[in-house]
Chains A and B, each alone.
Chain A
Amino acid sequence: EDQVTQSPEALRLQEGESSSLNCSYTVSGLRGLFWYRQDPGKGPEFLFTLYSAGEEKEKERLKATLTKKESFLHITAPKPEDSATYLCAVPRSSGNTPLVFGKGTRLSVIA
């Protein structure tokens, strides 16, 4: 069964304190791993797509990496405006069905 597990569920950081969020997945024939940011009461905002192990992508203070079993979202010197829920998602391995999401990591950055 396809599964996406994110950890930790919640993370509280001081401003400037770097850390990483984890997304582990079990799906055969990976056709992309997607990271989204979601602010309270709003739709998910696309951040990155990673397609193959070893791939890395960066955007401002965020850097996403991918291995054969997991992805990391590294946050360098976070600011309070980085506070949000970060969602990881992968396509199902069978059938013509799009994304299955992890439960997300709720990040709080304290000034």
Chain B
Amino acid sequence: DTEVTQTPKHLVMGMTNKKSLKCEQHMGHRAMYWYKQKAKKPPELMFVYSYEKLSINESVPSRFSPECPNSSLLNLHLHALQPEDSALYLCASSQLWEHGNTIYFGEGSWLTVV
């Protein structure tokens, strides 16, 4: 079973709102990721967690705040976003990245900022 579950599937939020995207995996993976994807573009890495610790932040603005409560869950807290932040947000997981393991993606959360 290679399933990464993301909620919600769609989210519309105002620029002053605070919302969260959630991700869950039960494959025993110890690395989890957030990617952002704009239309007709490839996914772009935002954050990597290894063993529930943030290991990579690709210079993402602070209005995006990741959290990894445990080895199965990953959240992305959103605050004071801009319309240009509207995109598909993808969660992914893998065994530890150092070994070049396959990354499995969720279905994504469509975010629209109005």
Contact = CB atoms under 8 A, between A and B. Distances in A.
Given A87-B42, A103-B42, A43 B103 contact: no
Contacts of A31: 100
Interface residues of A, number: 23
B84 interface: no
Contact of B97 (A34, A36, A49, A98): A98
A104 interface: yes
A45 interface: yes
Given A41-B88, A41-B110, A43-B107, A97 B56 contact: yes
A101 B33 contact: no
Contacts of A87: 42-43
Most buried by B among A43, A46, A97, A99: A43
B90 A97 contact: no
Interface in A4-63: 31-32, 34, 36, 41-46, 49, 51
Interface size class of B (residues with CB under 8 A): 20 to 34
B81 interface: no
Where chain B touches its partner, the secondary structure class is strand
B108 interface: yes
A101 B42 contact: yes
Nearest to A30: B100
Nearest to B92: A43
B37 to A, nearest CB: 9
A91 interface: yes
A42 B107 CA distance: 5
Nearest to B41: A103
Interface of A: 31-32, 34, 36, 41-46, 49, 51, 87, 89, 91, 96-99, 101-104
Interface of B: 2, 4, 6, 31, 33, 41-43, 45, 48, 55-56, 88, 90, 92, 94, 97-98, 100, 102-108, 110
Given A42-B108, A43-B108, A103-B42, 7 more contacts: A32-B102, A46-B105, A87-B42, A87-B43, A97-B45, A97-B48, A98-B31
